[in-house]
Amino acid sequence: MNRIFTLLFAFGLLFQGNAQTSEDKVIQSIFDEALTDYTSYRNLEYLCKNYPGRITGSEEVAGAVEYTFKLMKAMQLDTVFKQEVQVPHWIRGDAEKAFILSKRNGKKEVPVISLGMSVGTGKKGLTASIVEVHSFEELEKLGVEKVKGKIVFFNRPMDPTMINTFGAYGGAGNQRTQGAAEAAKYGAVGALVRSLTNSLDDFPHTGVMRYDEGGRKIPAVAISTNGAELLSSWLKKEPDLKFHFENYCETLPETISYNVIGEISGSEYPDEIITVGGHIDAWEPGEGAHDDGAGCMQSIEMLRIMKELNIRPKRTIRAVMFMDEEIAQRGGQEYARQAELKNENHYFALEADRGAFQPLGFGVSAPAERLEKILELKEYFAPYGITRFTQGGGGVDISPLGQFGTPLSSYIPEMQRYFDMHHCGNDTFEQVNFREFQMGSAAIASFIYLIDKFDL
């Protein structure tokens, strides 16, 4: 791409528009501010580099709590406070190791990572034959006879033809969350789960799993997609090959952590609260940049921009760093419990937990009349190429607010790359593009500004 005139020509019509309303002007000033100020991007970098691997119970997540608390204090918000949350404390321990033990091809190391809340094998490790399945139905058909004493290898890929990659994630997710519990029913000794990613790469991707209450607890690890492809191809020629893995994770007594909350008080209806948040905890192999340092920093950036531009909201606007989205979702539950105890009026809530990619739009769940008006906000975002305003929104951390009838919404960025970084060592600050990240911050700030301004 070189010559300039064709560029201008091809886009000449994009930004011709009608006269700007005063709201259009405010929104433009929000985008201008976001795209020229590096404060939030540098804060995200600081969070990622100083507090990577912020899983609940870790020193890193404690550091991140203090950091975001001090950060919002320094912004001179009207109120900044912490909310105590009791959280799980699971640790990964020493690095996992895993080998395919093949008579044909020898011993081959493959990348694995413990699934969150798994038990560990300890030093001895686990060595067994492999049985590969693609669904729980297939597992059931194999039954105890063919599963007992083996490691069950769940190898159903995320469906690559789904444009909605979150749908593809959902479609493959039960292997990770319930695979070990299901395998244990048939006497399996371990679970090996294909990483939940669209990408063919060498990162094993972790994430939470759960044992059935009273069920046998067998160790469960994720294998990289390249590793899964290799293992599957070797198994076809050598079904009785062995697999060895060792992992050192364990679950410690629960511990205390915090949601961190900063707010600008409403000028007209201070008792009506608009909550915007992401989660400050993150899986430990990466830096929790896209998941979900970005959502946290975008929430804080919304408040910074409002202050900077002297936008005085009618309602109280909160940025919430939710604790423990990844394991037990205790932060979101506690936030709603406190809201009930204090008889807070939660007017609207938005969750940002889909990465820092180019904004597409917002998903909203609200009563029909309110929903219709909110979806009409779409027109304000056309100059920014943000056009996807759809019914259906929410998120793990804000969903407990639904019990109060609070409308719930999701910030929706582009989603083709998200699972390349998700829950793995690839989720680093370097993967976050400044403009995409800040377009998101501006979209969120503008959306909340309009919700408040028009009493939607």
Which residues from 143-202 bind a copy of itself, rule CB under 8 A? 160-161, 163-167, 169-170, 173-174, 177, 198-200
User: Quick one: which of 284, 301, 326, 334 contacts a copy of itself (CB under 8 A)?
Assistant: 326
- The per-residue b/e assignment along 341-373, b for 16 or more CB within 10 angstroms, e otherwise, is eeebebbbbbbbbbbbbbbbbbbbbbeeeebee
Q: Which of residues 282-311 bind a copy of itself (CB under 8 A)?
A: 291-292
Q: Which of residues 62-121 bind a copy of itself (CB under 8 A)?
A: none
E strand map for 134-189: 151-154
Please report how close the Cβ of residue 428 comes to a copy of itself at its closest, in angstroms: 14
Give Cβ neighbours of residue 159 (< 8 Å, ≥ 6 apart): 167, 168, 171, 172
Closer to a copy of itself by Cβ: residue 143 or 160: 160
Distance CA 322, CA 334 (A): 9
Please report how close the Cβ of residue 175 comes to a copy of itself at its closest, in angstroms: 11
- Is 325 catalytic? The answer is yes
Closer to a copy of itself by Cβ: residue 266 or 407: 407
Torsion sign, CA atoms 56, 62, 63, 68: positive
Sketch the per residue contact string, 363 through 402, with a copy of itself: x for CB under 8 A, - otherwise.
Answer: x-------------------xxx-xx-xxxxxxx--x---
Site stretch for a copy of itself (CB under 8 A), options 8-16, 95-103, 243-251, 335-343 = 8-16
The DSSP code sequence of 224-237 is: -HHHHHHHHHHHHH
User: Quick one: which of 45, 353, 427, 452 contacts a copy of itself (CB under 8 A)?
Assistant: 353
Size of the site for a copy of itself (CB under 8 A): 74
User: Quick one: which of 20, 21, 25, 35 contacts a copy of itself (CB under 8 A)?
Assistant: 35
Closer to a copy of itself by Cβ: residue 219 or 363: 363
Neighbours of 310 (CB within 10 A): 7
Cis peptide before 292 (omega within 30 of 0): yes
Nearest residue to 450 (alpha-carbon basis) of 7, 1, 25, 14: 25
Query: What is the number of alpha carbons within 13 Å of residue 12 lying toward its C-beta?
Result: 6
Closer to a copy of itself by Cβ: residue 6 or 403: 6
Q: Which of residues 407-436 bind a copy of itself (CB under 8 A)?
A: 410, 412, 414, 416-418, 420, 422, 433-436
Q: Which of residues 233-292 bind a copy of itself (CB under 8 A)?
A: 291-292
Show the tokens assigned to 194: 């294909």
Distance CA 59, CA 52 (A): 10
> Could you say which of 96, 325, 344, 351 is catalytic?
325
Under the binding rule (CB under 8 A), the answer on residue 10 touching a copy of itself is: yes
Under the binding rule (CB under 8 A), the answer on residue 216 touching a copy of itself is: no
Distance CA 56, CA 54 (A): 6
List active site positions. Answer: 325
